[in-house]
């Protein structure tokens, strides 16, 4: 039984996710519930604490959701992340579990440390079919056996899978209702993934395409974070509306979504500080959009 302080902390998870992830309010409550059930010990003892699949367009927050939950509950160091585009070859399982009795594989090495862990497997659709067989074992009965013979239990862990399956449907149906988009995307997921896997994943979260309004909100979040970080090292900045619009244009990509935005904001603000220091001896001031140079410029 969790104590009152733990329950209060868990109650704050959903609000934390909503404050830091934009445009996906329809899935946040369900995602928070996965972790809340797990942390309260309500999951079956022969399975992982929680399992979900997040699907939809790239750059919409699928991986970020997992990282945000991890930071809030345990610390991001508990995330064990695997990009399954790197496990497409026939030796994929050997690389994950080990090639012989002296090799514990990537998953064996990642299993070190304190539980609970969150195993995050990105781009599920790209994994070799034998890796999908491995996931069936991980989902139920909830453990893996390494080449060394060691059994790694997963009953105290969470398994999160992400996939871009259905991304084209979600992008094409931008004006449709959330329910219609979810139905179309999950139908595509059902065609692409084996039923033995889908039957073992109770929560399937369909992420939506980011609207222009949401793009501005996300830009504002990243911008505020970078301004605060630069202020902490001595560079006090403010940003004009034109500069913000420039960052949105530069940072968002029709196919990649918000993924490049944080890097764009960091690069543009840091480069403007450097130019200000070199030209005027100051890296503080008001950032404006310089249309002649197509970048940001500091003014006093």
**Which residue, 93, 82, 79, is CA-closest to 122?**
82
* Strand positions, DSSP E, 37-166: 50-55, 79-83, 118-122, 143-145, 151-153, 158-163
pTM above 0.75, yes or no: yes
pLDDT tens across 166-189, in order? 888 877 777 778 888 888 999 999
pLDDT-derived band at 269, boundaries 50, 70, 90: very high
Domain boundaries, the chain: 4-206, 212-299
Mean pLDDT estimate for the chain: 91
Q: What is the pLDDT of residue 35?
A: 97
Are 4-206 and 212-299 equal in CATH topology?
no
pLDDT-derived band at 2, boundaries 50, 70, 90: low
CATH top class, domain 4-206: alpha beta
Q: What is the pLDDT of residue 40?
A: 93
Q: Are 264 and 251 a contacting pair, CB within 8 Å?
A: yes
The span from the CA of 229 to the CA of 61, in Å, is: 22
For 239, residues 6+ apart whose C-beta sits below 8 A from its C-beta are: 223, 227, 286, 287
Q: State the average pLDDT over residues 118-139.
A: 93
The span from the CA of 300 to the CA of 281, in Å, is: 11
**Which residue, 199, 195, 169, is CA-closest to 184?**
169
Q: Which CATH architecture has domain 212-299?
A: Orthogonal Bundle (1.10)
Q: What is the pLDDT of residue 300?
A: 75
For 274, residues 6+ apart whose C-beta sits below 8 A from its C-beta are: 283
pLDDT tens across 200-240, in order? 999 999 998 888 888 888 889 999 999 999 999 999 999 99
pLDDT-derived band at 255, boundaries 50, 70, 90: low
pLDDT tens across 18-76, in order? 999 999 999 999 999 999 999 999 988 888 999 999 998 888 999 999 999 999 999 88
pLDDT-derived band at 101, boundaries 50, 70, 90: very high
Signed CA dihedral, 74, 77, 78, 81: sign only: positive
Q: What is the DSSP letter of 259?
A: T
The span from the CA of 57 to the CA of 208, in Å, is: 7
Q: What is the pLDDT of residue 19?
A: 92
């Amino acid at each position: 039984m969790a104590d009152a302080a733990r329950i209060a902390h868990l109650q704050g998870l959903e609000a934390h996710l909503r404050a830091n992830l934009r445009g996906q309010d329809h899935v946040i409550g369900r995602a928070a519930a996965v972790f809340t059930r797990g942390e309260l010990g309500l999951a079956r003892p022969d399975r992982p604490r929680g399992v979900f699949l997040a699907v939809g367009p790239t750059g919409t927050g699928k991986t970020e959701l997992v990282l945000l939950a991890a930071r809030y509950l345990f610390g991001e160091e508990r995330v064990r992340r695997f990009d399954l585009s790197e496990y497409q070859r026939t030796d994929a399982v050997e690389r994950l579990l080990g090639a012989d009795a002296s090799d514990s594989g990537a998953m064996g090495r990642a299993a070190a440390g304190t539980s609970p862990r969150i195993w995050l497997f990105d781009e599920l659709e790209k994994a070799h079919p034998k890796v999908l067989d491995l996931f069936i074992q991980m989902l139920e009965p909830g453990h893996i056996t390494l080449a060394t013979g060691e059994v790694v239990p997963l009953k105290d862990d969470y398994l999160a899978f992400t996939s871009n399956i259905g991304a084209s449907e979600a992008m094409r149906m931008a004006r449709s209702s959330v329910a219609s988009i979810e139905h179309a995307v999950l139908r595509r997921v059902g065609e692409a993934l084996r039923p033995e896997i889908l039957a073992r994943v109770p929560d399937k979260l369909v992420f939506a395409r980011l609207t222009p309004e949401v793009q501005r909100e996300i830009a504002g979040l990243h911008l505020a974070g970078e301004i605060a970080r630069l202020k902490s090292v001595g560079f006090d900045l403010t940003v004009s509306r034109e500069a913000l619009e420039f960052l949105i244009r530069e940072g968002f990509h029709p196919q990649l979504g918000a993924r490049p935005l944080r890097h764009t904001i960091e690069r543009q603000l840091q480069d403007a500080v450097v130019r200000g220091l070199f030209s005027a001896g100051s890296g503080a001031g008001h950032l404006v959009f310089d249309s002649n140079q197509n970048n940001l410029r500091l003014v006093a």
